[in-house]
Chains A and B, each alone.
Chain A
């Protein structure tokens, strides 16, 4: 919990943040919109008072209502991990700028987020599926993609489980998609 980092982030990015800077244990979290990703992360990377030159992780998240891309950065200027959440991507066509111009190593991480969620990273030269076969139609980590995890929904019961994108037949419709709390 680094108060200096929080003050610097609020001073520099105040108007872009959708919500307060949250801190818990050794993590600091900021939320921005998808369009601000390239500028914000470039500023965090280049400016010496931030110096977040190390990309720790790039992940997609499906909250049930919308999608997010979550970046974890590390810098020598602060003892905290910085989490940048690009929030509010639509579930129909999630797009976010690519950060491969800063880190070449982000290319495969973005490919994985595309493969698992369908998030398009604009500017990634090689945005194709990485784990699933090239002709796969669904995006497996989305919340509307179900695994058959009991016998009633197994191939033995006639369920085609490999690409099931509808809710389980015997489940209440409202409870099928898990939604994340704010």
Chain B
């Protein structure tokens, strides 16, 4: 619109000259640096500039802000800024019942929510000295391995999407949709399942779930081969990922890595074997490991893990025992005063819960340990001298979920 009076002037109108400078958003914080690392990061050398990979971005796996210090197209250093999805879950759990706390744990890593519930439930069961019936344990393993496949399919699609491939994400969501419908028949929910309970699971296997599962299992292997085949030998994908973000086993252990990120660097540590829980000692599966430690290795390890999950699901279906699905427990739960730590092997690594109980029906301290939080620290180390576009590839290969990072 033509501006006649200064009060209606628009800053986009080229004829208008404003008295005040329109501030340009600077990624540099407006306060003096608080630590030596912050001071070192926010001083620019010759030719460098800051660019903000803002919290609103399609490739940051959630609301993550990363301040990149770039020299042309090369990233010299980066500083992740977290907290955009911080919901105070640990504090909320202190104010809630033990049963309510399980529902708070679900939206932490929403893609693999059964794995977020499981260590909390295991820690509560340790404090209550409850033994879970065998049928419930097998159902837990079955549901969580399906959740692992859900998570890894999303990883595969999202990895390609961050590199610019638009087809694999749609294929992976077709895959996920079938499994989500299956789990909806079992648990009632497609994403945040709220299925595990203290002492067992919420509902038994039903006909709808079993028929969908049987139907899907007959096609699953070929479907996963087809999905992975889109990318495994795609020249662009392989050339972008091979050799990028290489991390060796000793460094990965120093960075407290767990899960596929650690196994892709040559360390065969899987808590289902190293510190077995539930019925994993009775199940037969391999632990895929690779030595290269680059983005491609992390991708291939996860594809191999999907195949191992299918083996586990197959065994669970055939060896499912009969019996109750919940231990007999009073509704008002007062565990003994004490501390318990429980960890499970999730699709991203070690999910753990450390619960301090004071003898009341509310947890005194509910500490949630999340693997994505740990892995995101490594992005700065892995990005030395790489291009801006490789930031997305490296972050996607570490597979963070911001719900877990920010709690």
Please determine whether chains A and B interact with each other in the same assembly. Answer: yes
A contact residues vs B (CB 8 Å cutoff): 24-27, 29, 53-57, 59, 61-62, 70, 72, 74, 76, 79, 81, 83, 102-109, 112, 116, 125-135, 140-141, 145, 147, 149, 178-181
Q: Give A70's nearest chain B residue, CB to CB.
A: B354
Residues of A within 8 A of B339 (CB): 27, 29, 70, 83
Residues of A within 8 A of B38 (CB): 126, 128
Contact A105 B37, beta carbon cutoff 8 Å: no
Contact A104 B377, beta carbon cutoff 8 Å: yes
B367 within 8 A of A: yes
Can you list 21 A-B pairs with a CB-CB distance of less than 8 A? A25-B340, A56-B341, A56-B343, A56-B352, A62-B365, A72-B341, A72-B354, A102-B254, A103-B255, A105-B254, A108-B374, A108-B377, A109-B256, A109-B374, A126-B35, A131-B86, A140-B88, A147-B88, A178-B358, A179-B358, A180-B364
Of the residues A54, A127, A178, contact of B253 by C-beta under 8 Å: A54
Residues of A within 8 A of B367 (CB): 57, 59, 61, 70
> How many Å from the CB of A161 to the closest CB on chain B?
12
User: Which chain B residues numbered 349 to 377 have a C-beta less than 8 Å away from chain A?
Assistant: 350, 352, 354, 356, 358-359, 364-365, 367, 369, 373-374, 376-377
Contact A105 B29, beta carbon cutoff 8 Å: no
In the bound complex, what is the Cα–Cα distance between A126 and B83 (angstroms)? 16
Q: Which of B6-14, B90-98, B132-140, B323-331 lines the interface with chain A?
A: B90-98
Of the residues A57, A105, A116, A141, contact of B255 by C-beta under 8 Å: A105
B interface secondary structure, majority: mixed
In the bound complex, what is the Cα–Cα distance between A116 and B378 (angstroms)? 22
In the bound complex, what is the Cα–Cα distance between A1 and B343 (angstroms)? 16
Residues of B within 8 A of A62 (CB): 365
In the bound complex, what is the Cα–Cα distance between A180 and B407 (angstroms)? 24
Report, as a range, how many residues of chain B touch the other chain: 35 or more
Query: Top 6 A-B pairs ranked by shortest CB distance?
Result: A105-B256, A126-B37, A131-B83, A59-B367, A105-B255, A131-B86
Residues of A within 8 A of B83 (CB): 129-133
Of the residues B254, B275, B356, B406, contact of A103 by C-beta under 8 Å: B254
> How many Å from the CB of A16 to the closest CB on chain B?
20
> How many Å from the CB of A153 to the closest CB on chain B?
12
User: Which chain B residues numbered 242 to 265 have a C-beta less than 8 Å away from chain A?
Assistant: 253-257
In the bound complex, what is the Cα–Cα distance between A27 and B269 (angstroms)? 19
B82 within 8 A of A: yes
Residues of A within 8 A of B25 (CB): none
Q: Give B378's nearest chain A residue, CB to CB.
A: A105
Residues of B within 8 A of A55 (CB): 256
B321 within 8 A of A: no
Residues of A within 8 A of B72 (CB): none
Residues of A within 8 A of B256 (CB): 54-56, 103-106, 109
Q: Give A83's nearest chain B residue, CB to CB.
A: B341
Residues of B within 8 A of A112 (CB): 373
Q: Give B362's nearest chain A residue, CB to CB.
A: A178
Q: Give B406's nearest chain A residue, CB to CB.
A: A131
- Contact (A56, B350) CB under 8 Å given A24-B338, A134-B29, A180-B356: yes
Q: Give B36's nearest chain A residue, CB to CB.
A: A125
Residues of A within 8 A of B31 (CB): 134-135
Residues of A within 8 A of B377 (CB): 104-105, 107-108
B207 within 8 A of A: no
Residues of A within 8 A of B374 (CB): 105, 108-109
Of the residues A54, A102, A134, contact of B34 by C-beta under 8 Å: A134
Contact A147 B95, beta carbon cutoff 8 Å: yes
Residues of B within 8 A of A131 (CB): 82-83, 86, 406-407
Contact B35 A25, beta carbon cutoff 8 Å: no
